Amino acid sequence: MSDLKRTPLYDLHVGLGAKMVPFAGYEMPVQYSLGVMKEHLHCRAAAGLFDVSHMGQVILRSEDPKVAKAALERLIPQDVLGLGEDRQRYGFFTNDEGGIEDDLMFANRGDHLFVVVNAACKDADVARMRAALEPEVTVKLLENRALLALQGPKAEAVLAEHHPSLAEMRFMDVATVPIAGAECWVSRSGYTGEDGYEISVPLAAAKDLAQALLAHQDVEAIGLGARDSLRLEAGLCLYGHDIDDTTSPVEGGLTWGIQKTRRLGGDREGGFPGATRILSEMADGVSRKRVGLIPEGRAPMREGTELFASPDAETPVGTVTSGGFGPTIGAPVAMGYVGASFAEIGTALFGEVRGKRLPVSVAKLPFVAAGFKR
C-alpha cells in the first residue's frame, strides 16, 4: 500500500487496533477493535470520533466575497448568495446532462467560502472549480489541515468541555473556535444522522485533538464500516453509489437541497449545469426515484441487487445502490432506484439474492430519525 496517502492520524489508528484498508487513495481505518456493529451502536448512543481527513477542504476567495458566491452558483444549484454568514449548506456539483459530479458542504465564512468535497472526487472538483472560477476567484485546496467528525448525542457535552460556545451552535452553524489549543473551524453537521460536529484542525494539532477527544469516556473511534451503516440508516447518499454522474438530483430525492431562488420562477432561476433537465424534472416528474428499502427476511440486499415487481417477472424495475445490515434497526436496510410507479411507500417488490427472489418493501427514509439540533 506504498502509493497510498496517510492522514496525520495514521499512527493513532494503528495504535488503536484499526484494520486499515485502501479508500479513495488513502489508508483508512475500516474498523477498530470494537468492530463495526459496536462502533455503530456506540455512535448512536454516545459519541464517535471519525477521521475524515481524506476529504478535500477548499477555500474560495475573491476580493469582493460576492464574486466567489455568484461564481459558485454557476456550478451548483444551491443558493450561495443568500447563505448567511457562518452558516453551512449541503450542495452538489451538476454536469451538463443534469447528473451529479459530487456532493459537498459549503460555508459562508464572511470573506471567503469554505468547501468540503469527497476524497475520491477532490482533484476533479478542484479542477472543475479552477476552470470555471479562476482568475476572479482563487481556489485553494488545503493540504495543511485535517478533518475530524465527532458525532452522536453526547458530542455536544464532550465538546462543550473544551469550549462552552460549541454547545450554543445550531445545526449547520460554523465557527472558528480554539479547541485543545488549536484554531479549529467547527461546523455543527455530519453524515451519520446524529447531532454532531465536523472540525477542521491544523495538521500539526490533529493528533493531540483526536487524543483529547478520545480521552473522554463517552468517545470511541469509529471506522469507515460503521460510517457507512450509520449514513445508510440515516438515508444519506454515498457518492458513486446512491448518486453519480448519471443520476439527477430529482431522481436522487435531493430537490430539498435546491433552494427556491434557483428553481423555476426564482430570482436566480437556473444558471447551473444541467438546469434544463433538472428544472423540467422538478416540474414534470422523473421515470425513476431513489427510495428506501426494507428486506423482509434477514438476508441483506447489497449494492447491485436487482429488484422485480413479482417473483417471476423477467425485467427488473430497479436496483439496490447501497445495502447492508442496519445495527440500530437490527435488520437489513437498503436504498436503491426504482421506476417511478414503484416508488410509493409500502410497494412490495422482490430482490434477487443468490438466485432467489426475496420480498422487500419500499420504505420511508431515513430509517433512523435524525438527531440534528436545529
Please tell me whether residue 67 binds another protein under the rule CB under 8 A. no
CA dist list (Å): 291 to 16, 194, 254, 271, 334: 37, 21, 11, 28, 9
| Rounded (to 5) percent helix, strand, coil in the chain | 25, 35, 45
Give the containing element (helix H, strand E) for 126: helix 122-133
Decide whether 34 or 83 has the Cβ nearer to another protein: 34
Which one of 77, 253, 318, 332 is in contact with another protein (CB under 8 A)? 332
Region binding another protein by CB under 8 A among candidate stretches 74-82, 96-104, 134-142, 299-307:
299-307
Decide whether 30 or 59 has the Cβ nearer to another protein: 30
Other CB atoms within a 10 A radius of the CB of residue 345 amount to: 11
* Shortest reach from residue 159's CB to another protein, in Å: 28
* Shortest reach from residue 351's CB to another protein, in Å: 13
- SS3 annotation, 322-339: EEEEECCCCEEEEEEEEE
> What is the chain's alpha carbon radius of gyration, rounded to the nearest angstrom?
21
301/353 Cα distance (integer angstroms) = 7
* Shortest reach from residue 198's CB to another protein, in Å: 24
Please tell me whether residue 36 binds another protein under the rule CB under 8 A. yes
Q: What's the DSSP call for residue 119?
A: G
Please tell me whether residue 325 binds another protein under the rule CB under 8 A. yes
Decide whether 35 or 178 has the Cβ nearer to another protein: 35
* Shortest reach from residue 229's CB to another protein, in Å: 6
Please tell me whether residue 17 binds another protein under the rule CB under 8 A. no
* Shortest reach from residue 302's CB to another protein, in Å: 7
Please tell me whether residue 302 binds another protein under the rule CB under 8 A. yes
Best CA proximity match to 149, nearest among 101, 88, 221, 78: 221
* Shortest reach from residue 22's CB to another protein, in Å: 15
Residues 344-373 that bind another protein (CB under 8 A): 354
* Shortest reach from residue 300's CB to another protein, in Å: 6
Region binding another protein by CB under 8 A among candidate stretches 30-38, 184-192, 283-291, 359-367:
30-38
Residues forming a β-bridge with 61 = 112, 138
Q: Write the DSSP assignment of 148-191 as a string of letters.
A: EEEESTTHHHHHHTT-THHHHPPTTBEEEEEETTEEEEEES--S
180/28 Cα distance (integer angstroms) = 24
357/257 Cα distance (integer angstroms) = 35
Please tell me whether residue 60 binds another protein under the rule CB under 8 A. no
Please tell me whether residue 225 binds another protein under the rule CB under 8 A. yes
- By the 10 Å C-beta count (0-12 exposed, 13-18 middle, 19+ buried), 296 is classed as middle
**What residue has cell string 425513476?**
288
203/220 Cα distance (integer angstroms) = 21
Region binding another protein by CB under 8 A among candidate stretches 77-85, 120-128, 321-329, 334-342:
321-329
Please tell me whether residue 37 binds another protein under the rule CB under 8 A. yes
Decide whether 4 or 21 has the Cβ nearer to another protein: 21
Size of the site for another protein (CB under 8 A): 17
Decide whether 82 or 297 has the Cβ nearer to another protein: 297
Q: Binding residues for another protein, per CB under 8 A?
A: 30-31, 35-38, 225, 229, 298-300, 302, 324-325, 327, 332, 354
